[in-house]
Structure 1
Amino acid sequence: MSFGGLHAAGPLWRSASFAIAIGVLAPVLTLAWLAFGSGVAHWGPLFAHVLPQAALNTAVLLAGVGALVLVIGTGCAWLVTACDFPGRRVLHWALLLPLAMPTYIVAFAYLDLLHPIGPVQGAIRWALGFDSPRQFRLPDLRSMPGAMFVLGFVLYPYVYMTARAMFMTQPAHLMEAARTLGESRRGAFFRVALPLARPALAVGLSLALLETLNDIGASEFLGVNTLTVAVYTTWITRSDLAGAAQIACAMLFVVVALVWLERNGRRHQRFGSTQRMRPMQPRRLHGWAAWLATATAALPVMIGFAAPALYLVWESSKRLRQGGGISQGLLSSLGNTLALAAGVTVVAVAAGLVVAWAARSQGSRPNRARWQARVAALGYAVPGTVLAIGLLTPALAIDAALANAFGFTGLPLMGAGVVLVVACAIRFLAMPVGGIEAGLARIPPAIEQASRLLGETTGGTLRRVHLPLLQPAIATGALLVFVDAMKELPATLLLRPANFDTLATWLYAEAARGTYEEGAIAALAIVAAGLLPVVLLARNQLGTPSALPGPDKT
């Protein structure tokens, strides 16, 4: 049957989409059962000794990182949109490069770079004529301000992307009208451009804060006991799963607030058409103002990407020059990482295709199909530690059932890494769902109608018509999932099988031991892989440099 020009998906597709949505919700439901089903005995000690400090640290960290990413992201977005200066055409995409750097890798790099006897402080002491760290040393990076610094300069691109997209679509006549009415350029920015960009800023800010909440490596390296770190230590160090679940429930309240902020921002987001409205032309800067703008826009790239990347290259080359080579353990971790990322990619893309296809072929219940698609895409908002705790209990129950039914020894699902693959697939499912939905939206319904009129089934139409047309969207989603699975640390730390290391967990262990040279090669491999989706994102989101508006020479 056809609805709105599209044929309804069969019951198998709808059932599979419903099962995927339930699978995404299952960890959250399990978490609630663990937290509240174990009684209230755990809540007293948690409220007395763990939650207050961890919640306060998390709130302060979110506030500090939020302020920093707003200032850096919005300022750089306005600078490259409203002004023309040397290097602008490079910086407009280079400002995205910190997205290739996982937060724990940047923390790993700066802990060595800014160490009291490290190269940066050593150079400063040499320039000032000091000989010892006792005479001069910078504030300790292992602190709350240090964590804000690291996370802020890595996560600002989320705000930069959304703010710049909004600034580029704002019609020029609004700013011109403000200037005609006597506003200065600064006043026009704060009273016209910035209020119009608030929904986009809310979206970017919420995404950056969700990443901050999910972080475990950088926070732990820098000595900040957040809720995420508290979940990990409560579970692993104290072997208290119920207590960890209760802390994770507190995290979910923060997640809900951030998701509401993101959804609210998207609802109020409006983009003008540059085909009908004249976009704002950048004003050419001259002299010291031009070079100051270049330095200002380049500084976040230097801090968030260039400095840690150069450090990793130097440490890796030093390790290789000294004859250390690449250890067998690192090679094994690389193989594990590629296998894990490949498995997660296959599962996530297949599930994303099912959900997106069922949502497109909505049938007589479009609201249910859209609800399932939204639920399936919510995994990105759930921190990896929360997913790990929520999946552990059902996974152990299934393992026990399999052992009883088939005589397996050990934990067949946990031991084979199946649970870890499922956790990562749930976390990154939003990427293929969103990409495939966007790809399907660009395919005219008439193509599907023609296929069905020629006698093709729904599945045959998908296989022979839509899949070939969806190859770019599927490839993009697969690439994003693959790279993010390579970088995933929280879920991998908690759900990996015994004696199973990925590059991320290898780096985590080396940083914990303080052997930075050993971890630099693993970190460099992760960053190199992370550059691929950033380049793709720069091409798709920002366009080519030649597409930038030219400067206003008047």
Structure 2
Amino acid sequence: MLRWLTPTLLILLALVLTLPVLALGASWFQFDAAAQDVLMQMAQTVLPEYALTTLVLSLSVALGVAAVGMATASAVTLFDFPGRRFFEWALLLPLAMPAYVVAYAYTDFLQFSGPLQVWLRETFGLSGRLLPEVRSTPGAVWVFTFSLYPYVYLLARTALSERAAQLMEAARLLGAPLARRIREVALPLARPAVAAGVALALMETLADFGVVSYFGVQTFTAGVYKAWLAMDNRLAAAQLATMLLGLVALLLWLEHRAQRRMRFATLRGQRAGSAEAQPVRLRGGGAAAVMLVCALPIAFGFVLPVLFMLRPLIGGWDELPWTSFLQWSRNSVWLAGLAAALATAIALALAFAMRARPGPVTRGVVQLASLGYAVPGAVIVVGILLPVGWVQSVRPEASVGYWVTATVLGIVWAYLVRFTAVSLQSLQSGYARIPASLDDSARMLGTTGFGLARRVHWPLLKRSTAAAALLVFVDVMKELPATLVLRPFNSDTLAVVTYQLARDERLGEAALPALTLVLVGLVPVILLSRTLRSR
């Protein structure tokens, strides 16, 4: 196996996975007077609005997910109250809800012609709009906050569960009241984890297209698609995509910096569940308040959106397009299965190369492949289509555009760029649990190369490989921006159809594919909750 994983092949693989980003960088070498005019026109018209809206949205979402994620993580970690075990895993449920599905659900229920405002007008004899417009920047902040807070909840919960109980018990013995223990012990302890979770949530916010497009929020992502698809200006799209990628790179740096600070020493021999370090038991009003803090995010991020989508689904059950739904499902499963298989195969090869021959080339390729998940789908689309446009302008008779946009080549390429990092992370975690002594013993017995991977590593990596394939499969099923542009003809997926039906105000028909995506998203959430409970 190592014979095939030569440095040349690894470098070619890195180029394939990073070509969209390299193409965006290369577009600036064509910066001439025309490109300068385009940039100046955007700076005078749309660019200030994109920058201001993106900044306001990002800051608001950061505050929202930090507050909700930290509050819920503190509740289930520091306190013992009725229903705590249930809330520990139920707080992960919004991870199963794509943000654009949450946006469609709230719009269908709260808009002017929605059932809530109609009921209020008919019951109380009122007229006009009774609730604020949900399709707005505050509405997008609400959707992103309750869809993405689990990122902060997971990391903050992990940080608090490692040391918070012991340190808070020590502070209690020194006479500190509960409020001061939370303020001066728990919150500083979880600050790096909260910062890392906020950075991950903001990367998802900047990469989103479904919510901002449906709500009419003018962010950089919406601007990239408008410049490419509406204005037919590749250069403007590339410039906006580069700015968006710069923001993501800044967030990625902040996330890595916060991750480096998430290291806390633990006392040997001390058990986290010892009698001296038990969570504070709450009863009465305190327990009710903490239960409310945990219940509201679950309701706003999962329960209510599901109920809102079930209402039109049940009401129009006889009119649902079941034949088309089966075709959409087949397309989604086919693309997701193909991308999952290829991404997992690439990740297996990279993880094995890193294990067997961890040289500078291998480490560099693995690091580049690991960055793909942070690249927004809009950036990947522009980065893939830019080289296609250059080739077509030089050789009009070439059929590169056909192969990229009319077959599965382009969309699978985009999936691999974005989601190989997901499978690679899972497989690297699996390899970390395999002692290096097993490799040495196998080599002493004459097993090397592919035999080492097949006979020693593979039996121990089956669960990690299955988890990697499952995570990529679910992510591809829910992926909207890249699929919307690069999908082959007559290959609409569940995510694309959900967006198109909602955009056409056919929310009743959009409920079936939307809820199917939610059911698919529940699978990794259940596995994650089981893993956390077993730990």
> Same fold by TM-score, threshold 0.5 exceeded?
yes
Closer/same/farther in 2, CA of residues 172 and 296 from structure 1, 3 Å limit: closer
Q: Secondary structure at the match of 2:37?
A: coil
| CA distance, structure 1, for counterparts of residue 56 and residue 463 of structure 2 | 41
| CA distance, structure 1, for counterparts of residue 400 and residue 65 of structure 2 | 49
Q: Secondary structure at the match of 1:270?
A: coil
Aligned residue number for residue 441 of structure 1: 432
**Does 2:312 align with 1:312?**
no
Provide, for residues 279-308 of structure 1, a one-character-per-residue CA deviation record: whole Å limited to 9, x for no partner: 342222111221222122110000000111
8 A contact 2:25–2:242 mirrored in 1 = yes
2:150 aligned residue (149, 153, 157): 157
Amino acid of the structure 2 residue aligned with 1:152:
T
| Alpha-carbon distance, 1:472 to partner | 0.4
What are the residue-to-residue correspondences of 1:152-301 with 2, within 5 Å?
Answer: 152-273=145-266, 276-279=269-272, 280-301=277-298
Closer/same/farther in 2, CA of residues 451 and 425 from structure 1, 3 Å limit: same
| CA distance, structure 2, for counterparts of residue 397 and residue 341 of structure 1 | 29
Closer/same/farther in 2, CA of residues 21 and 274 from structure 1, 3 Å limit: farther
Aligned residue number for residue 353 of structure 1: 348
8 A contact 2:140–2:212 mirrored in 1 = yes
| CA distance, structure 2, for counterparts of residue 319 and residue 202 of structure 1 | 44
Identity %: 41
What are the residue-to-residue correspondences of 1:360-375 with 2, within 5 Å?
Answer: 360-363=355-358, 365=359, 367-375=360-368
Provide, for residues 193-225 of structure 1, a one-character-per-residue CA deviation record: whole Å limited to 9, x for no partner: 111211111211111000000111111111211
| Alpha-carbon distance, 1:534 to partner | 0.7
| CA distance, structure 1, for counterparts of residue 183 and residue 146 of structure 2 | 23
Amino acid of the structure 2 residue aligned with 1:47:
A
8 A contact 1:210–1:255 mirrored in 2 = yes
Amino acid of the structure 2 residue aligned with 1:452:
R
8 A contact 1:95–1:157 mirrored in 2 = yes
Amino acid of the structure 2 residue aligned with 1:530:
G
Closer/same/farther in 2, CA of residues 332 and 189 from structure 1, 3 Å limit: same
Amino acid of the structure 1 residue aligned with 2:124:
F
**Does 2:471 align with 1:469?**
no
Aligned residues: 528
1:118 aligned residue (94, 114, 120): 114
1:489 aligned residue (470, 477, 480): 480
| CA distance, structure 1, for counterparts of residue 127 and residue 462 of structure 2 | 57
Provide, for residues 439-477 of structure 1, a one-character-per-residue CA deviation record: whole Å limited to 9, x for no partner: 112112222223222322311211222112111001001
Amino acid of the structure 2 residue aligned with 1:428:
F
Aligned residue number for residue 376 of structure 1: 369
| CA distance, structure 2, for counterparts of residue 281 and residue 421 of structure 1 | 49
| Alpha-carbon distance, 1:27 to partner | 0.8
Aligned residue number for residue 533 of structure 2: 543
Closer/same/farther in 2, CA of residues 290 and 453 from structure 1, 3 Å limit: same
Amino acid of the structure 1 residue aligned with 2:327:
S
Aligned residue number for residue 53 of structure 1: 49
Closer/same/farther in 2, CA of residues 124 and 79 from structure 1, 3 Å limit: farther
TM-align CA RMSD: 2.3
Closer/same/farther in 2, CA of residues 274 and 349 from structure 1, 3 Å limit: farther
| CA distance, structure 2, for counterparts of residue 61 and residue 36 of structure 1 | 32
| Alpha-carbon distance, 1:278 to partner | 4.2
Provide, for residues 147-197 of structure 1, a one-character-per-residue CA deviation record: whole Å limited to 9, x for no partner: 100110000000000000011001534213323444321221121111121
| CA distance, structure 1, for counterparts of residue 88 and residue 127 of structure 2 | 39
| CA distance, structure 2, for counterparts of residue 173 and residue 160 of structure 1 | 20
Q: Secondary structure at the match of 2:46?
A: helix
8 A contact 1:147–1:219 mirrored in 2 = yes
8 A contact 1:493–1:505 mirrored in 2 = yes
| Alpha-carbon distance, 1:409 to partner | 9.4
Amino acid of the structure 2 residue aligned with 1:102:
P
**Does 2:58 align with 1:68?**
no
Closer/same/farther in 2, CA of residues 133 and 97 from structure 1, 3 Å limit: farther
Closer/same/farther in 2, CA of residues 360 and 398 from structure 1, 3 Å limit: farther
| CA distance, structure 2, for counterparts of residue 118 and residue 206 of structure 1 | 34
| Alpha-carbon distance, 1:275 to partner | 6.4
Q: Secondary structure at the match of 1:419?
A: helix
Provide, for residues 2-33 of structure 1, a one-character-per-residue CA deviation record: whole Å limited to 9, x for no partner: xxxxxx94463544333222222211110122
| Alpha-carbon distance, 1:399 to partner | 8.2
Q: Secondary structure at the match of 2:124?
A: coil
Q: Give ranges in structure 1 of 5+ residues lacking alignment.
A: 1-7, 548-554
| CA distance, structure 2, for counterparts of residue 13 and residue 354 of structure 1 | 11
1:528 aligned residue (505, 512, 519): 519
| Alpha-carbon distance, 1:512 to partner | 0.9
| Alpha-carbon distance, 1:360 to partner | 1.5
| CA distance, structure 2, for counterparts of residue 360 and residue 342 of structure 1 | 26
8 A contact 2:388–2:401 mirrored in 1 = no
Amino acid of the structure 2 residue aligned with 1:76:
T
| Alpha-carbon distance, 1:119 to partner | 2.9
Aligned residue number for residue 132 of structure 1: 126
**Does 2:419 align with 1:428?**
yes
| CA distance, structure 1, for counterparts of residue 284 and residue 247 of structure 2 | 46
| Alpha-carbon distance, 1:124 to partner | 5.2
1:325 aligned residue (320, 341, 344): 320
Which deviates the most, 500-509 or 367-376? 367-376
Runs of at least 4 residues off by over 6 Å: 397-405
Aligned residue number for residue 411 of structure 1: 402
Which deviates the most, 439-448 or 213-222? 439-448
| Alpha-carbon distance, 1:73 to partner | 0.2
Closer/same/farther in 2, CA of residues 286 and 125 from structure 1, 3 Å limit: farther
Provide, for residues 94-137 of structure 1, a one-character-per-residue CA deviation record: whole Å limited to 9, x for no partner: 000000000100001000111133233345567xx522342x61
| CA distance, structure 1, for counterparts of residue 462 and residue 393 of structure 2 | 40
| CA distance, structure 1, for counterparts of residue 484 and residue 302 of structure 2 | 25
Amino acid of the structure 1 residue aligned with 2:110:
L
| CA distance, structure 2, for counterparts of residue 219 and residue 28 of structure 1 | 23
Query: So what's the TM-score if we normalise by structure 1?
Result: 0.90
| CA distance, structure 1, for counterparts of residue 441 and residue 170 of structure 2 | 50
Amino acid of the structure 2 residue aligned with 1:264:
R
Q: Secondary structure at the match of 2:5?
A: helix
Aligned residue number for residue 4 of structure 1: none
8 A contact 2:94–2:298 mirrored in 1 = yes
| Alpha-carbon distance, 1:369 to partner | 2.3
8 A contact 1:169–1:274 mirrored in 2 = no
| CA distance, structure 2, for counterparts of residue 401 and residue 515 of structure 1 | 43
Aligned residue number for residue 5 of structure 1: none
| CA distance, structure 2, for counterparts of residue 271 and residue 133 of structure 1 | 58
Closer/same/farther in 2, CA of residues 239 and 537 from structure 1, 3 Å limit: same
Closer/same/farther in 2, CA of residues 115 and 96 from structure 1, 3 Å limit: same
8 A contact 1:349–1:429 mirrored in 2 = yes
Aligned residue number for residue 3 of structure 1: none
Aligned residue number for residue 138 of structure 2: 145
| CA distance, structure 2, for counterparts of residue 288 and residue 201 of structure 1 | 28
Q: Give ranges in structure 2 of 5+ residues lacking alignment.
A: none
Query: So what's the TM-score if we normalise by structure 2?
Result: 0.93
| CA distance, structure 2, for counterparts of residue 240 and residue 180 of structure 1 | 66
